[in-house]
Amino acid sequence: MKKIEAIIKPFKLDDVKDALNELGIKGMTISEVKGYGRQKGHTEIYRGAEYVVDFIPKIKIEIVVPAEQADLIVEKIRNAANTDKIGDGKIFVMPVERVVRVRTGEENRDAV
């Protein structure tokens, strides 16, 4: 089992979700996060005072999938989230030791 964490631009969420649906991914968890990488932040102006805002809004998607599908899914997410501009985000893949479905107690492959 692998966990895929993708940080993407907020307006790309629907594209990524649709791409994952096509692959038969049945669920995901997303959160609104803030951060910065090479893109850096932006400037905001309030009554004449300029502020540099470092942290900009992004969406973090978390999904857990069978290990053999991970590469394909990463590729799909990358294609869907790509705008060819700086700030498109990052994808992290990491191993998962164990998955348990709360309702039934099913484990691992059966639980995702």
Partner 1 sequence: MELNTGDTAFMLIATALVMLMTPGLALFYGGLVRSKNVLATTMQSFLCLGIVSILWVVYGYSLSFGPDVGNVIGNLDWAFLRNVSWETGTGRTIPDLLFCAFQLMFAIITPALITGAFAERMKFSAYLFFTSLWVTFVYFPVCHWVWGGGWLADMGALDFAGGTVIHINSGAAALVCALVIGKRKGWGKEAMHPHNLPMTVLGAGVLWFGWFGFNAGSALAAGPIAALALMTTQVATGAGALTWVLAEWKIQGRPTTLGAASGALAGLVAITPACGFVTPLWAIVIGGVAGVICYLGVILKGKLGYDDALDVVAVHGLGGLWGALATGIFASVGYQGLLYGNPKQLLVQAIGAGAAIAYSVVVTFIILKVIDVTVGLRVDSDKEQQGLDVAEHSEVGYSI
Q: Where does this chain bind partner 1 (CB under 8 A)?
A: 44-51, 53
- Taking the C-alpha atoms of residue 72 and residue 20, their distance in angstroms, rounded to an integer, is 10
Whether the Cβ atoms of residue 58 and residue 7 lie closer than 8 Å to each other: yes
Half-sphere exposure of 79 (CA within 13 A, CB side): 9
Min CB(60)–partner 1 separation in Å: 17
**In angstroms, what is the minimal distance from the CB of 28 to partner 1?**
21
Nearer to partner 1, 45 or 86 (CB): 45
Q: How far apart are CA 73 and CA 90, in angstroms?
A: 14
Q: Which is nearer to partner 1, 43 or 104 (CB)?
A: 43
Whole-number minimum distance, CB 47 to partner 1, in Å? 5
Query: Of the two residues 44 and 106, which places its CB atom closer to partner 1 in the complex?
Result: 44
Measured CA to CA, the distance from residue 72 to residue 100 in angstroms comes to 24
